[in-house]
Structure 1
Amino acid sequence: MNNESLQKLTESISITYFDRPFKHRAYFNKRLRTTGGRYLLNSHDIEINNKQYMEYGETAIIDIVKHELCHYHLHLQGKGYKHKDKDFKLLSQQTGAPRFCSAIEKYEDRINYIYQCRQCGSEFPRIRKVNTSKMVCGKCKGKLAEFKIASQK
């Protein structure tokens, strides 16, 4: 799937599920990492994570597009377009748009550092490096030491 077919898919989903046209751009953004897609408030464009298509196929893209179109149409109508808003929850339910997309990488696969408490021996896996002079063990308040660096991909 390329940007052109994604644009056509988005336009057809908009008409089918929302009875409204999609008049802006929908395209893949390779820089997206932790989200399936996003609606841009200023330009009204929709960006989709191409890794979702690679991993889960077109059905995942359809679900993500539905979710982002909920944001799009509600924002343009001046209604509550945020996840917590009643309007958003109602429209999501009516269109069958999922609340979240499937994770591409599990947390365990993203771990880069493992810290260990010097007092109780508890281990704390982390994606980002932690300042051990400021952070302490959450169980016993002991000092943390960098136990090992998880293998890089």
Structure 2
Amino acid sequence: MNDFDLQELVESVSKESFGKKFKHKAFFNPRLRTTGGRYSLSDHHIEINPKQYEHFGMEELIKIIKHELCHYHLHLEKKGYMHKDSDFKVLLKKVGGSRFCQTIPGKKKQATKIHIYECKQCSVQFKRKRQFDTKKYVCGRCKGRIKKVETIF
């Protein structure tokens, strides 16, 4: 499926499920990682994650399109188009769109390092995800010097 096919699909889903025309552009955006699609408030375009279609097929793609079309039509009608709004929740349930997209298999969360530091004066320990230069900073409690104790994986 290419962008032209997606445009036609979005237009037909809008006509069938919402009874309204989709007058803007819909296209695949391969840079999307954690979301199934995105509706742009400024130019009213809809972007779809192509990996969702590749992994889960047409049925899941249509649910994502319905979700984005809910944002689209509600925003243009000046109604509550955000996830938290009741207008959005009611319309999404009515048309059968998905609330959340499925997780793409093979995407594992990378293990983060935890750096443990300790004050030389008051012996308070604290953890950080990012390292820092111990020569530049002092303890916030007693203004003592800081030393790195260990790194946990």
TM range (shorter): 0.7 to 0.9
* Residue identity opposite 2:47 in structure 1: E
1:132 and 1:145 in contact (8 A); partners too: no
Aligned-pair Cα RMSD in Å: 2.6
- In 1, the alpha carbon distance for the partners of 2:32 and 2:11 equals 22
1:77-105, CA deviations, whole angstroms, 9 ceiling, x for partnerless residues? Answer: 00000000010011001101111010115
What are the equivalent positions in structure 2 for 1:51-130 lying under 5 Å apart? 51-105=51-105, 109-115=108-114, 130=129
* Residue identity opposite 1:111 in structure 2: Q
The count of aligned residue pairs is: 131
Within the candidate set 108, 129, 152, 1:147 is matched to 152
**Aligned-pair identity (%):** 49
1:115 and 1:144 in contact (8 A); partners too: no
1:132 and 1:144 in contact (8 A); partners too: no
TM-score by length of 1: 0.76
- In 1, the alpha carbon distance for the partners of 2:150 and 2:49 equals 36
Q: Residues 144 and 77 from structure 1, CA distance in 2 versus in 1: closer, same or farther, beyond 3 angstroms?
A: farther
In structure 1, what is the equivalent of residue 145 of structure 2? none
1:3 and 1:28 in contact (8 A); partners too: yes
Which is greater in Rg? Answer: 2
TM-score by length of 2: 0.76
Gaps of 5+ in 2: 118-127, 133-147
Gaps of 5+ in 1: 119-128, 134-142, 149-153
Q: Residues 147 and 4 from structure 1, CA distance in 2 versus in 1: closer, same or farther, beyond 3 angstroms?
A: same
Q: State the secondary structure of the residue aligned to 1:47.
A: strand
Deviation of 1:145 (Å)? 4.1
* Residue identity opposite 1:87 in structure 2: D
Q: Residues 69 and 91 from structure 1, CA distance in 2 versus in 1: closer, same or farther, beyond 3 angstroms?
A: same
Deviation of 1:5 (Å)? 0.4
